[in-house]
Amino acid sequence: MAARGRCPECGSGSLVEDAHYAQQQLVCAACGCVLSEGLLTTTYTDEEHLREVAYSQSTGQKEQLSRCLQRGIRRVQDLCKVLKLPAAFEETAVSYFQRALELPAFHLVSLEKKELLGGCCVLVTCRQRRWPLTMGTVCSLLYAKQELFASVFLSLQRELGLSVPALSLADLVTTHLSSFRLVQPNANIPAPFLEDKEQLVARTMAIVELASDTWLVTGRHPVPVVTAAAFLAWQSLRPGPRLSCPLARFCRLAGVELPPPAQLRLKELLEILLAMASQLSWLRGFCLDKKTVVKHIGDLLQHRLFLLKRAFSQQDTGLGMGSVSQECQGSGLPSSPAVPQQQGCPWAGQQQQRGTLRPLLPPCLLHPRKRLRAAAPSAASAALTGDEPISDSEIEQYLRSPEEIRAFRRAKAWS
C-alpha cells in the first residue's frame, strides 16, 4: 500500500510503512509520529483502494477441495464403512473418484450421477481386489436406478480405462451365504433348519460349479443362481424335515430376499439333476421326481463329472457343422474308467446307445422362443438399385384428401 498524506505533526510527506513486531504501522520518517497502526478494520475509502485477488486466481482453490468433491469423498468413505471393506479399498476408491471427477465427462453431470459415481468407484475397487460386491447391493445402498447406475459404471470404465475383472462366483457364494441367518444359531429358526456354514458353502459351491458347467450361469444374473443352489444344498444336507420347505420360505428364514429368477434356476437345476440321476446305476430302479432327487444330490455331486458325460449327448448342436464329430469327448477330464472307452466311440454309435439324450446346451437353445424370422431378401429386392422411378400414385396414397384435412382442422387437432 502506498503511503499517502502528510504527517499531522510535522507536515512532512515521508511516510513509511513499518512493522512493529507483527503490527503494521504507518510512521512519519521525520518525526517518528505513528499515524496509524494495525488496522483491524478498514475504512470505506481504504477498502476502495485495496486490490482484491479473486479466489480463482489465488492458490487457495488448488489447495482446497471443492465442496462437491469433499461431499463425494465422504460418501465413498461412508459406503466403504457400511460395507466393512478393508482400509486399502477406501484409498483406492477415493483416488478413482477424484480422478474421475476431474474429467469433463463427470465434472458437469447431474448431482444424481455424481452420487452414483462414488458407488461405481467402490464397485470397481472391489472387483479389482476380488471382493464379491454385486451391483444390486450398491444400488440398494444408494437408492439408485439400475439403468442409471449401469450407464455411469460403463462410462467410468471407459473414461478411466480401467480393467474390471468379472465377478467371481466362488467368492460370491461365500459372501452371500455368510449373510444367511440359517448359519448362525438363532432362536427364531427351528433346530432342524439350522445348518453348518462350512458344509453349506462347500455344497453350494459344488452345485454352482455344476450349474456353470451345464450352461445355466452364462449370461444370467449370478445372485439367483447362488440362491437356488444354496436352497438345494440346504435341502440335501438334511432332506427329512427340509424337503417340505419351499424356496420362498427358505429365503424368509434366511433373511434374504427371493430374486424372481431363482425359481426358474431351481427348476433348471432340478432338471439337470434328474437327468444325471437317471444315469446313476443304483438310482435307476427308483422313480425319481423333483422332490426325491434332492435326497441324492450328495451322490450326484460326487460323481458329477462322470454323470455329466453320460447324461448328456456330447455334440454341440452340430447343425450343419461337419467338424462336430472331431470334438465329441474332447475334454480329457479324469474320471471313472468308463470314460476312456467312450472317447473312442464314434458319434453315431453313441446316439444308438443313448437314444434320446438331450444335448448339453444353454436353456435358450433348448427352448427357443418362437420368433418370426424375416425371410432372406428375395431376388427382386436384391436387384434393387435405389434409383428406381417412384410412381405418383404410390406417393399420393400418403397424402390426406381435402375432406380429411377439413375434418382434422375442425377437430382442432393442432391447437
In angstroms, give the least distance from the CB of 146 to another protein: 8
**Side-chain half-sphere CA neighbours of 253 within 13 A:** 25
Our finding on whether 165 is near another protein (CB under 8 A) is yes
Our finding on whether 321 is near another protein (CB under 8 A) is yes
Q: Please, which of residues 143-162 interact with another protein by CB under 8 A?
A: 146, 150, 153-154, 157
Q: Do 307 and 276 form a contact (C-beta atoms < 8 A)?
A: yes
In angstroms, give the least distance from the CB of 239 to another protein: 28
DSSP for 21-83, please give it: TTEEEEEETTT--EEEE--SS--HHHHHHPPP--TTTSTHHHHSPPHHHHHHHHHHHHHHHHT
Total of residues contacting another protein (CB under 8 A): 72
Our finding on whether 319 is near another protein (CB under 8 A) is yes
Our finding on whether 329 is near another protein (CB under 8 A) is yes
What backbone phi and psi angles, to 5 degrees, belong to 243? -60, -30
Q: How far apart are CA 72 and CA 66, in angstroms?
A: 10
**Position among 185, 320, 337, 355 found at the interface with another protein (CB under 8 A):** 320
Q: Please, which of residues 110-139 interact with another protein by CB under 8 A?
A: 128-130, 134-136
Q: Please, which of residues 220-259 interact with another protein by CB under 8 A?
A: 220-222
Binding mask 26-65 for another protein (x = CB under 8 A): ----------------------------------------
Cell, residue 406: 377439413
Our finding on whether 95 is near another protein (CB under 8 A) is no
In angstroms, give the least distance from the CB of 390 to another protein: 5
- Secondary structure of 174-217 in HEC code, one letter for each residue: HHHHHCCHHHCCCCCCCHHHCCCHHHHHHHHHHHHHHHHHCCCC
In angstroms, give the least distance from the CB of 46 to another protein: 57
Our finding on whether 167 is near another protein (CB under 8 A) is yes
- The residue (of 54 and 376) whose beta carbon lies closer to another protein is 376
Q: What is the three-class DSSP state of 9? A: coil
Our finding on whether 19 is near another protein (CB under 8 A) is no
- The residue (of 287 and 376) whose beta carbon lies closer to another protein is 376
Our finding on whether 339 is near another protein (CB under 8 A) is no
User: How far is C-alpha 370 from the geometric centre of its chain's CA atoms?
Assistant: 30
Our finding on whether 415 is near another protein (CB under 8 A) is no
Q: Is the Cα dihedral 249, 250, 255, 257 positive or negative?
A: negative
Q: Residue written as cell 425371410?
A: 375
Q: How far apart are CA 218 and CA 376, in angstroms?
A: 30
Q: How far apart are CA 31 and CA 14, in angstroms?
A: 10
Our finding on whether 103 is near another protein (CB under 8 A) is no
- The residue (of 13 and 359) whose beta carbon lies closer to another protein is 359
DSSP for 252-286, please give it: HHHT----THHHHHHHHHHHHHHHHHTT-GGGTTS
Look at residues 34, 48, 40, 54 and name the one whose alpha carbon lies nearest to residue 1. Answer: 48
Binding part of the chain for another protein, among 91-99, 188-196, 235-243, 407-415 by CB under 8 A, reads 407-415
- The residue (of 193 and 215) whose beta carbon lies closer to another protein is 215
**Position among 125, 204, 236, 315 found at the interface with another protein (CB under 8 A):** 315
- The residue (of 86 and 377) whose beta carbon lies closer to another protein is 377
Our finding on whether 349 is near another protein (CB under 8 A) is no
- The residue (of 78 and 404) whose beta carbon lies closer to another protein is 404
Our finding on whether 411 is near another protein (CB under 8 A) is no
Look at residues 110, 115, 105 and name the one whose alpha carbon lies nearest to residue 156. Answer: 105
- The residue (of 114 and 220) whose beta carbon lies closer to another protein is 220
Q: Please, which of residues 364-403 interact with another protein by CB under 8 A?
A: 364-365, 374, 376-377, 381-382, 384-388, 390, 394-400
What backbone phi and psi angles, to 5 degrees, belong to 293? -65, -20
Q: Do 193 and 253 form a contact (C-beta atoms < 8 A)?
A: yes
In angstroms, give the least distance from the CB of 268 to another protein: 13
User: Where is 341: in which H helix or E strand?
Assistant: helix 338-344
In angstroms, give the least distance from the CB of 175 to another protein: 15
